[in-house]
Homo-oligomer: A and B are copies of this chain.
Amino acid sequence: MKCEVVAIGTELLLGQIVDTNSSWMGEQLALAGIDSHFQTKVGDNRERMVLALRTALARSDAVIVCGGLGPTQDDITREAIAEVMNVSLVRDEAIVEKIAAMFASRGRQMAENNARQADVPAGASVIEQVRGTAPGLICPVGHKVIYAVPGVPHEMREMVERAVLPDLQVRAGTTATILSRTLRTWGLAESALAEKLGPRLEELDQMESGPTIAFLASGIEGIKVRITVKDADAESAKAVLSAEEATVRAILGDIVFGVDDETMEDTVGAMLKARSLTLGLAESMTGGLVASRLTNVVGASDWFRGSVVSYASEVKFDLLDVPEGPVVSAEAAKAMAEGARKALGADVGLAVTGVAGPAEQDGQPVGTVFFGIAMGDTPADSSEVHLPGDRILVRQFAAISLLDLLRHKLLQQ
């Protein structure tokens, strides 16, 4: 079973949007054991969309078309697919009503344009939309198939996972199970990680059909170590995966902070909750970034009290009782952590102050960051790091580094 991806949108060709949707779909297809040999981008032009779809169908068994399902004049994926199928579009009144109800629930009236999103090529079936307005489509073309999914990433992903991949696997008659698990690490560069795991990688290379290990850099979120297992038997696949995870964890130790979609804030939040501790923050250079990550976690109110984003020095002095003086310093970081703990009524106070750039501050170069942590009965502690990159990167590295510092402190408890 071969499946291609066709991404629709003139903005993709003009480079105004980078096509991350196709990359994501390529990864999912590979994990599902479906071969994918080509990906195409084409603009909002009916003739060329039809050509791209026909080209893709000629060399593959299935095509996923992404984008062009919106309500505007240049959203013509439905029309292009109908032409390839050689059928007409039929308006599905049940979908019209559903879209209208969605608008009504937001206190708005549906514009006439939106009804176009209920047009379905005759003979196609509908993939229910649960996050937006445009439904997806499953369109048979002879013994092959075109899937249409929206270009909005979170809508696309939900639909591909729920409806497209399962349908593809049924068509492929795949019996082999492919399982993968991703261990998320923080604190080592990819080369150091590869060196640590080198002997194990060599052992796996010797095996006839053992698990495989791949490294995926994920920018500011550390390096992912993905273990993949392919096995005819699902139970056996699970067992091999778990055994390999245990082996890799034993080698890597506590630089592994999470599994699969687990974020650093998920991990830290779960640790605080398990220890019945509450957290208060004082953020300067990260400007609320750490708090906003922590409050992404469902149930954060169980352990998160709040943050004093003390961007101006006076706010540090007034709200956090930081002594007047240089605010990019170990002393300031410790005072901020104590101040946050007290002002926010938390068990643990965590603080960050530093220089995000573009200019230096308090005689410290860009990338200089001080962390403070106050917990238990001992005096507050501080540490200093020097982070690479521009303003945006320095802020992001500082945020995840601070959370990782807290993780290590909690592990020691």
Q: Which residues of A are in contact with B by a Cβ distance under 8 Å?
A: 10-20, 22-28, 30, 36-45, 48, 51-52, 55, 59, 70-74, 105-108, 110-114, 131, 151-154, 180, 182, 189-192, 194-195, 201, 214-217, 219, 226, 281, 283, 285-292, 294-296, 298, 300-301, 304-312, 314-315, 318-319, 343-345, 358, 386, 388-389, 391-393, 395
Residues of the B chain whose Cβ atoms lie less than 8 Å from the Cβ of A386: 106-107
The 5 closest A-B pairs by CB, nearest first: A287-B295, A288-B291, A15-B27, A288-B288, A111-B191
Dominant SS among interface residues on chain A: mixed
Given contacts A44-B214, A72-B191, A314-B345, 17 further A-B contacts (CB under 8 A): A11-B226, A12-B39, A16-B180, A16-B214, A37-B48, A39-B40, A40-B40, A71-B191, A108-B189, A151-B217, A154-B393, A283-B288, A291-B292, A306-B308, A306-B310, A307-B307, A315-B344
Residues of the B chain whose Cβ atoms lie less than 8 Å from the Cβ of A10: 214
Q: Are A37 and B45 in contact (CB under 8 A)?
A: yes
Which of B17, B38, B281, B345 contacts A216 (CB under 8 A)?
B17
Kindly state the separation between the CA atoms of A12 and B41 in the bound complex, as whole angstroms: 13
Residues of the B chain whose Cβ atoms lie less than 8 Å from the Cβ of A285: 295
Q: Are B315 and A311 in contact (CB under 8 A)?
A: no
Which of B111, B309, B312 contacts A288 (CB under 8 A)?
B309
Q: How far is the CB of A237 from chain B (nearest CB, A)?
A: 15
Which of B30, B106, B214 contacts A388 (CB under 8 A)?
B106
**Sample (6) of A-B pairs whose CB atoms are under 8 Å apart:** A13-B38, A70-B190, A291-B292, A305-B314, A307-B307, A312-B344
Q: How far is the CB of A134 from chain B (nearest CB, A)?
A: 11
Residues of the B chain whose Cβ atoms lie less than 8 Å from the Cβ of A395: 295-296
Contacts A18-B20, A216-B11, A226-B16 given; indicate if A72 touches B389 (C-beta within 8 A).
no
Q: Are A71 and B194 in contact (CB under 8 A)?
A: yes
Residues of the B chain whose Cβ atoms lie less than 8 Å from the Cβ of A291: 287-288, 291-292, 309, 311
Residues of the B chain whose Cβ atoms lie less than 8 Å from the Cβ of A301: 311-312
Contacts A17-B216, A296-B392 given; indicate if A38 touches B39 (C-beta within 8 A).
no
Q: Are A38 and B30 in contact (CB under 8 A)?
A: no
Kindly state the separation between the CA atoms of A315 and B216 in the bound complex, as whole angstroms: 40
Kindly state the separation between the CA atoms of A23 and B17 in the bound complex, as whole angstroms: 7
Q: How far is the CB of A86 from chain B (nearest CB, A)?
A: 22
Residues of the B chain whose Cβ atoms lie less than 8 Å from the Cβ of A28: 15
Contacts A37-B13, A45-B37 given; indicate if A72 touches B190 (C-beta within 8 A).
yes
Contacts A70-B190, A191-B114, A311-B301 given; indicate if A36 touches B13 (C-beta within 8 A).
yes
Kindly state the separation between the CA atoms of A286 and B309 in the bound complex, as whole angstroms: 13
Q: How far is the CB of A128 from chain B (nearest CB, A)?
A: 17
Contacts A41-B38, A309-B307 given; indicate if A113 touches B191 (C-beta within 8 A).
yes
Kindly state the separation between the CA atoms of A318 and B342 in the bound complex, as whole angstroms: 11
Residues of the B chain whose Cβ atoms lie less than 8 Å from the Cβ of A217: 70, 151-152
